[in-house]
Amino acid sequence: EAEVAQSPRYKITEKSQAVAFWCDPISGHATLYWYRQILGQGPELLVQFQDESVVDDSQLPKDRFSAERLKGVDSTLKIQPAELGDSAMYLCASSRGGEGLEQFFGPGTRLTVL
């Protein structure tokens, strides 16, 4: 069964350092999402891609966060510099697109900023 892959699974960094997360969606899924999930809360959308184009990045803190999906397949989310408040689970999801809304989630990257 096809799955969304994410790496690393866990990342510990010090504040002011740069971190990067990688996501490989299910093959053929045109839409890719990055979410941030703070402990005890539901996921909140950071950025949405349709193929290689950004559809919505209104909730992405652009002064420190960036995301790209250069060839419309895998994607990278970067934080520079990391702050203590960035500690969270970062989830990637993908969907087929069209009228289907079902999203398939990866296992996530747990970020701890010290």
Partner 1 sequence: GNSVTQMEGPVTLSEEAFLTINCTYTATGYPSLFWYVQYPGEGLQLLLKATKADDKGSNKGFEATYRKETTSFHLEKGSVQVSDSAVYFCALGRTGSARQLTFGSGTQLTVLP
State yes or no: residue 25 binds partner 1 (CB under 8 A). Answer: no
Site for partner 1 in 38-97 (CB under 8 A): 40-45, 48, 55-56, 91, 93, 95, 97
3-state class percentages of the chain: helix first, strand second, coil last, to nearest 5: 5, 50, 50
d(CA 101, CA 33): 12
State yes or no: residue 1 binds partner 1 (CB under 8 A). Answer: no
Closest distance of CB 76 from partner 1, Å: 18
What is the total count of residues that contact partner 1 (CB under 8 A)? 27
Measured at the alpha carbon of residue 5, what is the angle toward residues 12 and 59, in degrees to the nearest 5? 65
CA nearest to 34, candidates 65, 3, 1, 9: 65
Measured at the alpha carbon of residue 77, what is the angle toward residues 31 and 93, in degrees to the nearest 5? 35
State yes or no: residue 4 binds partner 1 (CB under 8 A). Answer: yes
State yes or no: residue 22 binds partner 1 (CB under 8 A). Answer: no
State yes or no: residue 31 binds partner 1 (CB under 8 A). Answer: yes
Interface residues with partner 1 (CB under 8 A) are 4, 6, 31, 33, 40-45, 48, 55-56, 91, 93, 95, 97, 99-108
